[in-house]
Amino acid sequence: MKLTREYVLEQLEQHAEELRAFGVTRIGLFGSVARGEASEDSDLDFVIELKEYTSDAFFDTAFFLEDLFGCKVDIGTIRSIRPELKDQILSEAVYAETI
């Protein structure tokens, strides 16, 4: 199934409570799906902010998102984005509003 930006953001909003339970304080979609350039094989790229930056919070969030969307998910934190990519990623990221 080809995922759209609207669908992904809608699902994030609908599952905001679960994401907050993992410690997610902000989540943004970037990459091909955010730009409307996704193909059937596209993965999802997210940038997240966490209440506490622990491996459990990070991996629990990643596994939850993979189960939710049924595809490969790449997530990064604001802190982990490579400096040379940070401006581009943050400028194209679209954020779920209720998280």
Q: Of 11, 96, 18, nearest to 57 (Cα)?
A: 18
d(CA 17, CA 24): 10
Domains of the chain: 5-95 (3.30.460.10)
Torsion, Cα 57 62 68 69, to 10 degrees, reads 160
Query: From the centroid of its chain, how far is CA 22?
Result: 13
Length of the chain: 99
The pLDDT of residue 78 is 87
Q: Among all residues, which ones are annotated catalytic?
A: 43, 45
What is the rounded distance in angstroms from the CA atom of residue 67 to the CA atom of residue 30?
Answer: 19
What average pLDDT does the segment 32-48 reach? 95
Q: Give mean pLDDT, residues 39-62.
A: 95
The residue-averaged pLDDT of 52-64 equals 96
Total-model pTM: 0.93
